[in-house]
Structures are given as C-alpha cells and as structure tokens.
Chains A and B, each alone.
Chain A
Amino acid sequence: MKLFWGRAGAVARKEVFHILRDPFALAAALGLPVLMVIIFGISIEFNMKDIPLAVNDADQTRSSRMLLDRFASSGYFGIRRVVSPHQAVAELTDQKARAALVIPPDFESDLISGRQGQLQLLIDGSDNSTVGPVSNYVNRIVGAGAPALYDLRTRYLFNPELDSRWFVIPGLTVVIMAILSILLTALTIAREWENGSMELLLSTPVRPVELIVGKLAPYGVLGIIAIAFVYVIARAVFQIPFVGNLAVFGLGSLLFLITYLAQGLLISVVARNQQVAMQLAMVTGMLPSNLISGFIFPIESMPTFFQYLTMLLPARWFMRIARDTFLQGSGLIELKVPFLALTFLCFAMIFLATRKFKRDLEP
C-alpha cells in the first residue's frame, strides 16, 4: 500500500510540474471556468424584457390606449407602432418584432356594449424560445383583473403547430456545423506541430496559402456533406418544411462553414498543441454556438453588452439564416444583415488565420 501511494504520488507530482510549467493549461484550468461562469451566467437569461411588440391599434380609443399602457408599463414589451396588420406581419418577418398585437376598430364599442374586446396576437413561432414567455406575459397583462373582458386570439406564424422540432432542427444545423468544422480544423495544424511534421513541411517549397487551402479543403467537403445530411434528415425524417430558397441557405452554410474552418485554423496556428487547441475550440466555438447564438436562449433577453458581443459570433448570424430560410422563406434581402455580418467575419477569420500562420519555427 505504501508503494502504491509512493508511485501514485510521484505520478501526481510529475503532473503538477507539467501543469505549473504550462502557463496556458494552468490559465485554461483556472481562468476558463471563471470566465465561462461570468459570460454565460450573465448572458443566459430566461426572463425576457423589452420584447419588441408590433402594435396595430386600429381603434385609437381610450380603452385601446389603456390596454397598450399596460403593455408598455409591464417592462416586458417595447411597443413598435405600425399602421396595418400587414405591416405587423412584416415586422415579424424582418425580425424587428417578436410578436404583434392587432386591435380592431370596434374594440372599445364591443367593450361598451358588454361584449369581449377582440384582440389578435401574432407570435413568431419559428423561435420557440420566445413563444412561451411572450404568451405568458401577454396573458398576464390581458387577463389581469377581469379574465372575460377580452377575447384574445393567438396565431403562431411560421410554425403554426409550435412543433419544437421545427425550431430545434434548423438550429441544430448551426451547432453541428460549428462543432464539426471548428474541432476538425483546430486539431489539424496543431497535430503537425505536435508530431514535428511541420518542421519538415516548412522546409519544403509549399507556401502557407497552399498549406491552408490543402488543410481546409477536405474538411470543407466533409462539412458540405454534413450540411446535406442534416438537410435531408430534417426534411425526410422530421418533415421540417423548407419554405425558403435552397441557394440562399446553401450560400449561408458555405459562408458559415468557411468562417468556422478559418477560426479552427486560427486556433490551430496559435495553439500548436492539440490539447490547447481542443480547449480553445470548445470555448470559442462549441459553447458559444450552443449557449449564446440564440439556439436555446433568446439573444433579446441578454444584457445589452452581451447582445453586442454575440454579433462577433458567426453562429448567431447563421442561426438566423438557417431558421429564417427554413421556416419563414426569407431571402437575401430580408437576411442582408446576417449575410453581411457573416461575410465580414468570414474575411476577418481568413485574414487572421493567414496572418498568424508562420513560415518558421519561432515561438
């Protein structure tokens, strides 16, 4: 038994030396948990505030204004006035609003004559993460005091049955692609450094750009095949509708794929060892694409700073492209902001990865 503890102790001491002499591993072990708890703890918020609500008040009476005051003062909603039900739907399609409230012209007269005031609530059903809270908050406001006062009819746009798979599976495309692309490439160059083959490669006439393209191309093809698989499974097995343009979805997928492949490459170039590359891939790719891309938790409910921070996340933009092309039929015009952002991030990642790629063995 003494021998056992002696040997185990020796191994443990050796490991302690490894950890202490590898500042990055130490920083990763101690710093990352703190950083992750702070970032994800603050940014992940189930309670929503200031949900953009498009309001078409065709009645324009004291009763309708009183009702809207209750919405505005609740803190849950930010009111966006629109002039017609048609514009209210457009606000939802353009993602300027998460829900829309339509008050018909005879709202007050119905109330005065003892009938229930008619109200129509339109909710963006393509984002299940907001549907629950929005319905809940609206019912709380409308139903406060006298439950029978209003007749609230709710319609879910883009996902009428609120099938959670319609919401989850297009989003899963993003998460799967993020994991696949970033992990595979993050390890590829780091592996060359770790097993010493990079020294040999650098002594050959191969140029960095040739190495980068050669490294990325097979994983790019793998990624495209994976996207095709996910798409076919989503359509054939889970019967998810695809109402958008396949070319738009394909273009978005390609941009996203290249961006994350380049990010993986950047990690690989910087890390030079597979263990560190894996940790960086987890922290900068997998976790954010799961937790702060809007996949599970709505971005609108995050503190303002983190809402801006997510703009640096390619997954956030592709999440929008994937869901909107699948369920809303959005095209390049409606998705111009996500496409522009993704294109910018794509070029930035390629630029950084190429710039950081070294042609020598300098530390």
Chain B
Amino acid sequence: MESISITARGLRRSFGQTVALKDVDLSFTAGHMHGVIGPEGAGKTTLMRLLLGLLKPGAGTVEFSQAGKPVDFDIVRPSIAYMPQQQSLYPDLSVGEHLDFFKELYGIERKAYEVKRDELLEITRLGSFVSRPAGQLSGGMYKKLGLMCALLRSPRAMLLDEPTNGVDPISRREFWELLYRLSDQNILIIVTTAYMDEAERCGMVHLLEQGELVAEGRPRELLMKENVRTFDELFLRRGGHG
C-alpha cells in the first residue's frame, strides 16, 4: 500500500476562550518521521486529534494524499494508526487479549495476524509477558503494548501522542529504536513530544508554542539557523517551558 501524506491548512481550534491552535499550516510527508515538539499546552494533542478527525477544526482543513493523489479521510482511515497520550488500554486484559481484540477491530486474517503478532512480540521483547494484564506492565512495556496494538494493522501512517511520556530512559531508547525500524518501511510517523532531546531523533521537526507553529525544518538545519546547540537551548531562549 502507498504511503500517506497529511497537510493541514490554517488549522484553528479553540476551547471556550482558550485558543489551542492558531491558524497552523503543516505538511507531513510520507516516509518521514515528523516530530511535533513543544512544551505542555502547546497544542500538540489538539493537533493530533484534529488530524484524526476526533475534533472538528474551528477553521482550516486537513487533507490526505496517497501516492501524490488527494484522498478522503475515510479511505485512508484504516491505514492510520493512533496511540493516544492518555493511558487507553484495558488494565484487566492481558497483552495477548489486547492483540486479539485489535486484530478483530482491524479485521486482520488469522494467518497474517499470527505472523504479525509473533514479529511484534519479538521486536518489543514482550513475548514472555503475553498473559500479563496491561495494568501490571511497567510504563515502558505498557507503551510498547500500545504501539503493538497500533502496528497490528500494518499502518501506512502512525500518529503517536507523547508515546514516551513517563517512561524510563532505557525504555525510551528502545521505543525510539522501534520507531526507526518503522520509518525504514516508508511509513509516515508523526510523534509529539515534550522531551526536547527527542526532537533530534526526528527527520523533520515542527515547533509548536502556545498553539502557533514557530519553526520547522530538519533538526540540524534548524539548530544552525537558530544558532543554538540543542532544542532545550532553543526553547529556553524562546521562553518556553520545555
């Protein structure tokens, strides 16, 4: 299946008096790992939800294209995986039961599922925890399970909302290694994060601050342009909290 690209034009969304996203133009191109970086409250989760149609924009549009041709969201929806920021798995269901559940939701055939399941359990190293309830997994394992559920359907685009939030450094590194593997498969990956060091791991970064897109580009080029060494430094200079 062809890769998916997403373009947001003039995206705006308010909650009451608070403007969460202010006329944002963004382009997420297929085959890249995009990092949406910003401190808490920058509008990252709102952006993800708007891209997925989980929230309606106050203004602006979200357009999808596949192999360079515009397509309706409903057509690409089955190929887009999402991992919300909030813990959203079922604490009483085991790792294996989660995978079985999402297999049915995605309508994956038994044989293909078994191959995918074994592959995912191997790369996440959760094979020996198949019968452990999600509520009893460590933070890192829990996130990996979330990622496995998202990856089951072999998506062409993945939207991950702060997937490493609250995870220990070793698990974070393992998680990023998993993402690198995926980006090698020409999948569009959009990751939001408040960890500035993670910005440098992305192919493209988009800096959000108080609902506005303040900068974007390749990490190195961006740092050079802003004349800083790290993204932490960049945000501190801009007066962010990250």
Q: A interface vs B, CB < 8 Å? A: 195-206, 360-362
The one of A196, A201, A205, A362 that contacts B86, using a Cβ cutoff of 8 Å: A196
Q: How large is the interface on B (under 10, 10 to 19, 20 to 34, 35 or more residues)?
A: 20 to 34
Do the beta carbons of B55 and A360 come within 8 Å of each other?
yes
Q: Give min CB distance, A357 to chain B, whole Å.
A: 14
B56 to chain A, nearest CB (A): 6
CB interface residues, B 42-71, toward A, < 8 Å: 49, 52-56
Whether B87 lies near A195 (C-beta < 8 A) is: yes
Is B106 an interface residue when CB atoms closer than 8 A count as contact? yes
- Looking at B31-39, B76-84, B218-226, B229-237, the stretch in contact with chain A turns out to be B76-84
* Least CB separation from A205: chain B residue: B78
Residue B105 lies at the interface, judged by CB distance under 8 Å to chain A: yes
Is the beta-carbon distance between A203 and B105 smaller than 8 angstroms?
no
Which residues of chain A come closer than 8 Å to B54, judged between CB atoms? 199, 202-203, 360-361
- Contact: B52 with A203, CB < 8 Å? yes
Report the nearest A residue to B86, measured CB to CB: A196
Q: Which residues of B contact A (CB under 8 A)?
A: 49, 52-56, 77-78, 80-84, 86-91, 102, 105-107, 149
A205 touches B56 (CB 8 A): no
Interface centre among B87, B88, B89, B107 (most CB of A within 10 A): B88
Q: Chain A nearest CB: distance from B161 CB in Å?
A: 9
Q: A195-B91, A200-B89, A205-B78 are in contact. List 16 more A-B contacts (CB 8 A).
A: A195-B87, A195-B90, A196-B86, A197-B88, A197-B89, A197-B90, A199-B84, A199-B88, A200-B83, A200-B88, A203-B80, A203-B82, A205-B107, A361-B49, A361-B54, A362-B56
What are 29 A-B residue pairs whose CB atoms fall within 8 Å in the complex?
A: A195-B87, A195-B88, A195-B90, A196-B84, A196-B86, A196-B87, A196-B88, A197-B89, A199-B49, A199-B54, A199-B84, A199-B86, A199-B88, A200-B82, A200-B83, A200-B88, A200-B89, A203-B52, A203-B54, A203-B81, A203-B84, A204-B102, A204-B106, A205-B78, A205-B105, A360-B56, A361-B49, A362-B55, A362-B56
Nearest Cβ on chain A to B82's Cβ, whole angstroms: 4
Roughly how many angstroms separate A205 CA and B106 CA in the complex, as a whole number? 7
Nearest CB in chain A: distance from B167 CB, A: 17
Q: How far is the CA of A195 from the CA of B91 in the complex (A)?
A: 10
CA A197 – CA B101 in complex, angstroms?
A: 13
The one of A195, A196, A206, A362 in contact with B105, judged by C-beta atoms closer than 8 angstroms, is A206
Q: How far is the CB of B226 from chain A (nearest CB, A)?
A: 34
What residue of chain A has the Cβ atom nearest to residue B81's Cβ?
A203
Kindly list chain A residues whose C-beta atoms are within 8 Å of the C-beta of B149: 200
Closest beta carbon of chain A to B134's beta carbon, Å = 10
For the complex of A and B, list the 8 residue pairs with the smallest distance between their C-beta atoms, beginning with the closest: A196-B86, A203-B82, A200-B88, A196-B88, A199-B84, A197-B88, A361-B54, A204-B105
Report chain A residues within 8 Å CB of B105.
201, 204-206
Q: Which residues of A contact B90 (CB under 8 A)?
A: 195, 197
Q: What residues on A are CB-neighbors of B84 within 8 Å?
A: 196, 199-200, 203
Closest to B80 in A: A203
- Alpha-carbon separation in the docked complex, A200 to B80 (Å): 12
List A contacts of B106 (CB < 8 A): 204-205
Q: What distance in Å separates the Cβ of B196 from its nearest Cβ neighbour in chain A? A: 26
Question: How far is B81's CA from A203's CA once the two chains are assembled, in angstroms?
Answer: 7
Which residues of the partner chain B approach A362 to less than 8 Å between Cβ atoms?
Answer: 55-56
Kindly state the separation between the CA atoms of A206 and B82 in the bound complex, as whole angstroms: 13
Contacts of A205 in B (CB 8 A): 77-78, 105-107
Kindly provide the distance from the CB of B44 to the nearest chain A CB, expressed in whole angstroms: 14
Q: How far is the CB of B109 from chain A (nearest CB, A)?
A: 15
A206 to chain B: which residues have CB within 8 Å?
105
Residues of B within 8 A of A196 (CB): 84, 86-88
CB-CB nearest in chain A for B91: A195
Report chain A residues within 8 Å CB of B52.
203
CA distance A198 to B90 in the complex (A): 11
In the assembled complex, which residues on chain A have CB atoms less than 8 Å from the CB atom of B55?
A: 360-362
Complex CA–CA separation, A17 to B52 (angstroms) = 34
**A268 vs B83: C-alpha distance in the bound complex, in angstroms?**
24
Q: How far is A202 from B53 in the complex, measured between Cα atoms in Å?
A: 9
**Interfacial chain A residues near B83, Cβ < 8 Å:** 200
Q: How far is the CA of A201 from the CA of B53 in the complex (A)?
A: 13
Closest approach, in angstroms, between the C-beta of B142 and any C-beta of chain A?
12
Min CB distance B140 to A, Å, is 18
**Inside 8 A of A197's CB, which chain B residues have their CB?**
88-90
Q: How far is the CB of B110 from chain A (nearest CB, A)?
A: 18
Q: Which residues of B contact A200 (CB under 8 A)?
A: 82-84, 88-89, 149
Across-interface contacts of B80 in A (CB, < 8 A): 203
B74 smallest CB distance to A (angstroms): 10
Q: How far is the CA of A203 from the CA of B102 in the complex (A)?
A: 12
**Most chain-B CB neighbours within 10 Å: which of A200, A360, A362?**
A200
Say how far A203's CB is from chain B's closest CB, in angstroms.
Answer: 4
Tell me, in angstroms, the Cα distance from A342 to B42 when the chains sit together.
51
Nearest CB in chain A to that of B83: its residue: A200
